[in-house]
Structure 1
């Protein structure tokens, strides 16, 4: 095993020489390993393996002050600066941080490992706490900013440092997506009735599970009307661009199996870079690989506060990679300005389902 890790480290060093700008996630893809396997190679150098006491570590990050929270999947990166406020970490399955800036939904079942990383930078070392799934994929990263408390970071590292600082890490195979049932096996009438009778959008997931539906299948089998409307895959660009032009505050949800991260507020500075469509605001950055969006749907769900309207984007495997709403809170109807934007995009980009 030690020989294997030495060989992998040598291959990574060669790759870094050839492609010095290559990020670790992309390097892992090129070397056919997981990101956490590459990261662990530097344990004892600039990487410290932490004890897998995830809730305890997260309970201490508020004291870091203003940081940058990063959550991503293969195709969308969500970066939000702020302070980790109002934690709810008692439930072993689901945790929360609910602040105006850092807003997270945490699903601990897939969490597998944690590390502290200190990367060399021109001005000062870049410090981060990084959390990975059991399959080696990155779940969430917390980067210090110039306004963060470095001493607290050092205390967290010392307190939660693992006795095991080897470069070897065992990962589990990536969980396969559940097979989609044939439409003929679904009680479509019952599902559609459940959708029409929703009073809380959070109950939609339970409705899918009860009826044995994947999310994209559910959208295909939505009730008649405008409950789910398929649109072309430049809908996200259109929605974000129009929201920026009209200064309409939106909510942007991006996640992976272990985390959903939410931005609530305006978006302003938009920019293209290669395949990526970007929001580059001071406290919020979003990077979307547009070519990976395989399906886009405008989705409407009834609630006690009226209809809630979303744009949902999926990759070719049916994974939801981003979800957008107008800014709203429970008890408050969604913004009419948001509804107008979505309706205009629907009128412009609607496809024949």
Structure 2
């Protein structure tokens, strides 16, 4: 839309009653373009390099970390600690904020401050302007560290608008039927869950395609009703889980129980102290119960996919040495509703 100048976008943002993500979808622009409309009006373009950005965020102390995809949002309160940088992948390993980050998708970053200074955040986007990760400051955050972050990471260009690339089309399920036996045989010989991605890439497949092709006992398709059932049973049983939500650039992990579950319309909401989750149940098109062998025993997960074949979340039972109960987890997922086949 040619009339969507930065000034016009600022007006629309001021009058909007919806979230920036939804407003961007309605206007047909990227979410990052909405942020850039405020360059010089409380927004500064900053360096997205993980090795500089994450340590600066760590200096803020307590913050809220937010990662989302089209169908799910995860929010965790804590501090960015135990950062490990890397050319292809990086991570923070804090008890509260546990992230896996993939630097090539951290393309545009901004320090965002509301006109009254009450709301401050770091927002990171990919080449298409889609959100990768956001960090929201809280009352306990260090204001001096915020000033140092903004000043120290500010880029020279604070005026020019970015040229965002077209968003990549969803990949959908990719499988190679002639390699089905190879997939099953090598899958059964795995000793670590991280070997799975290497295996499916080598066989020219992806996660969803491999699940469809392998079938039981390695992967069993569950009913979409398994998702709300899973959350309720985890809550009611006090089960310790690891819940992964992410996108191509960042994965955020909750480790622990679920206490407060409040469905609202199509949304399934977890509203716990220090942990919120917002999941669109109506986006869930496929659910799989997946069994991957490891040296420590089976890693059993429930994984949900949207209608485009993109991963919404993965949920694992916590390992026993971390306080989990593998037998209880196996029993819980075994009772989830399956897809009825002819």
- How far apart are 1:160 and its partner, in Å? 0.9
- How far apart are 1:103 and its partner, in Å? 0.5
Per the alignment, residue 120 of structure 2 pairs with: 127
Per the alignment, residue 73 of structure 1 pairs with: 69
Alignment of 1:1-353 (within 5 A): 6=5, 9-10=7-8, 13-14=11-12, 16-17=14-15, 20-89=16-85, 91-119=86-114, 125-166=118-159, 168-178=161-171, 183-184=176-177, 186-222=178-214, 225-328=216-319, 335-345=326-336, 348-352=337-341
- Count the aligned residue pairs: 342
Counterparts of 1:179 and 1:301 in 2: how far apart (Å)? 22
Q: Cα–Cα, structure 1 residues 143 and 188, in superposed 2: closer, same or farther, change >3 Å?
A: same
Q: Cα–Cα, structure 1 residues 236 and 180, in superposed 2: closer, same or farther, change >3 Å?
A: closer
Q: Indicate if the aligned counterparts of 1:306 and 1:333 stay in contact, CA closer than 8 A.
A: no
Counterparts of 2:27 and 2:274 in 1: how far apart (Å)? 33
- SS of alignment partner, residue 201 of structure 1: coil
1:143-199 alpha-carbon deviations (Å, 9 max, x no partner): 111111111011100111112112611111122344765644x31111110111111
Structure-1-length-normalised TM-score: 0.91
Q: Indicate if the aligned counterparts of 1:230 and 1:351 stay in contact, CA closer than 8 A.
A: no
Counterparts of 1:317 and 1:179 in 2: how far apart (Å)? 6
Counterparts of 1:287 and 1:62 in 2: how far apart (Å)? 25
1:60-90 alpha-carbon deviations (Å, 9 max, x no partner): 222111111000001100001111111001x
Superposition CA RMSD, Å: 2.2
- How far apart are 1:215 and its partner, in Å? 1.5
- SS of alignment partner, residue 204 of structure 1: helix
- SS of alignment partner, residue 214 of structure 2: coil
Q: Cα–Cα, structure 1 residues 258 and 208, in superposed 2: closer, same or farther, change >3 Å?
A: same
Q: Cα–Cα, structure 1 residues 220 and 182, in superposed 2: closer, same or farther, change >3 Å?
A: closer
- How far apart are 1:328 and its partner, in Å? 2.1
For structure 1, list consecutive stretches of 5 or more residues without a partner in the other structure.
Answer: none
Structure-2-length-normalised TM-score: 0.94
For structure 2, list consecutive stretches of 5 or more residues without a partner in the other structure.
Answer: none
- SS of alignment partner, residue 79 of structure 1: strand
